[in-house]
Amino acid sequence: MNGYFNKVSGKDVEFYEKLLGSKNLSISEEELVTNSIDAYPGMFYKPEIVLWPETSEQVSSILRYSYDRLIPVYLRGGGTGLTGTVPIYGGVLINLVKMNKILTVYEEDMQVVVQPGIVYNTLNKELEKYDLFFPPDPSSGSVCTIGGMVASNASGLKAVKYGTTKDYVLGLEVVLPDGKIVKLGSRTFKYSTGFDLLKMMVGSQGTLGVFTEITLRLKHLPEYIETGVAFFPSIERAVKTVYQIIRNGIDVAAIEFIDEQMIKVVSEFKKLQLPESKAMLLIEAHGTEASVSETMKRCVRIMKDNEAVEIRVAKDIEEREKLWAARKGAYPATLRLGKYMIISDVVVPISKLLDAVLNSYEIGRKYGIEVQVIGHFGDGNLHVHWTSRDDKEKIGLLHQANEMLAKWVIEVGGSVSGEHGIGVEKKKFMKIQHGEAYKMMLDVKRLLDPRCILSPGIIFDLEEVVH
């Protein structure tokens, strides 16, 4: 639908400048280019102007004006999204990083109210003073923002114990596409007061509104943490270990899986000298010293029963960080390895984990591409890295392989995304994943944004929203 939107004119720039002041807007090539990508490879679309609002009212005015003028608006926090949520129709990019304050800490209620642009690690550093933290620990935590996390329903390494971002969002102030400001949710842990519009907003990837204030529930920092790794002679044994830990209700905070290829890649990249094996599991337990020690004992017993060839338990923080380095270094390590890479984010019922890994290898063989598998196996989430070292011709094959796995995952009752979201990258799976319910999602989008000015082309094709 080329020509549907208006271009940003000189008059529009004047309006935005009057609203925000010249220091909070840019049309310089450097800023446009910087804001034209996220972490999904190969997508580059420049906005026509970048805006840095500092208040909810400014966001509201930007949207009201852009809605009337039919100018597309995109949103950006840390820009670490992995699904291509970039300004594909140009227009305005609202960069929220200047809205980065902690507004209130309700220490007794274990809650915090923040602006969306605060970075995950910065928030948790501040919350340490209160012995509190916001648990969903994405590997991108040093850069990604809370707004981006809520919009993606991000999670990460500890979801098996603590859940995902949606489990922590109690309230949202949302600026709707036409500029109206609404407050959703409450400061209570439960409510039963009509449709749950709050949860509908979580994971909406900037398509339904701009989050300008976020109320999060928090957890106490764990008193004691222990981390261990184990290496297995087969994928089957590693997966069986995961299954037995979960099935026995053992309270682990993380169970991360790394396969043989990824062990090699990351070992070389991080100089870790990890033993050669078919699979590695990283397990972490949080709680009191006594409960953690009991948890680790039970895990080690299961690992040994499953013929783990080597088990290492960290003795101090430094060692713990070293063990985590293997897992956290996986993404940059494969980026170095392959010139072209895409990552799947599929989730399966845990009884299907083994099939999912073996199937990924089979698909890799079929298309002649390299495959490395890591994942948050405690919650059935696999990140299959499809890589091609140099061969540009193979980019299409990476996508075909990814697509084949995604379709299989849907067939076995899984989901095409566990934490990264849909963006542009996974739009093609929406109808297969949701069937009739996809039309309901489209109707919601049309209701809140009938002109489709907010993040057009993300999750939904523009043509589907406006006829």
Ligand X SMILES: Cc1cc2nc3c(=O)[nH]c(=O)nc-3n(C[C@H](O)[C@H](O)[C@H](O)COP(=O)(O)OP(=O)(O)OC[C@H]3O[C@@H](n4cnc5c(N)ncnc54)[C@H](O)[C@@H]3O)c2cc1C
Chain residues in the site for ligand X (CB under 6 A): 38-39, 75-82, 85, 96, 116, 138-140, 144-145, 147-149, 151-152, 154-156, 205-206, 210-211, 331, 419-420, 455, 458
CB of 91 to ligand X, least distance (A): 13
Q: Residue 196 and residue 444: Cα distance in Å, rounded?
A: 13
CB of 11 to ligand X, least distance (A): 26
Burial class of residue 30 (count of CB atoms within 10 Å of its CB; 0-12, 13-18, 19+): exposed
CB of 47 to ligand X, least distance (A): 12
* Rg of the chain on CA atoms, in Å: 23
**Token reading at 439:** 């039309």
CB of 142 to ligand X, least distance (A): 9
Comparing CB distances to ligand X, the nearer of 254 and 296 is 254
Cα–Cα distances in angstroms (integers) from residue 385 to residues 43, 295, 326, in the given order? 18, 31, 15
Comparing CB distances to ligand X, the nearer of 148 and 177 is 148
Comparing CB distances to ligand X, the nearer of 12 and 419 is 419
Residues in CB range of 426: below 8 A, 6 or more apart: 83, 406, 416, 417
CB of 363 to ligand X, least distance (A): 23
Comparing CB distances to ligand X, the nearer of 81 and 171 is 81
Comparing CB distances to ligand X, the nearer of 151 and 401 is 151
CB of 422 to ligand X, least distance (A): 9
Residue closest to ligand X (Cβ): 148
CB of 278 to ligand X, least distance (A): 24
Comparing CB distances to ligand X, the nearer of 340 and 367 is 340
Comparing CB distances to ligand X, the nearer of 112 and 144 is 144
Q: Residue 210 and residue 233: Cα distance in Å, rounded?
A: 48
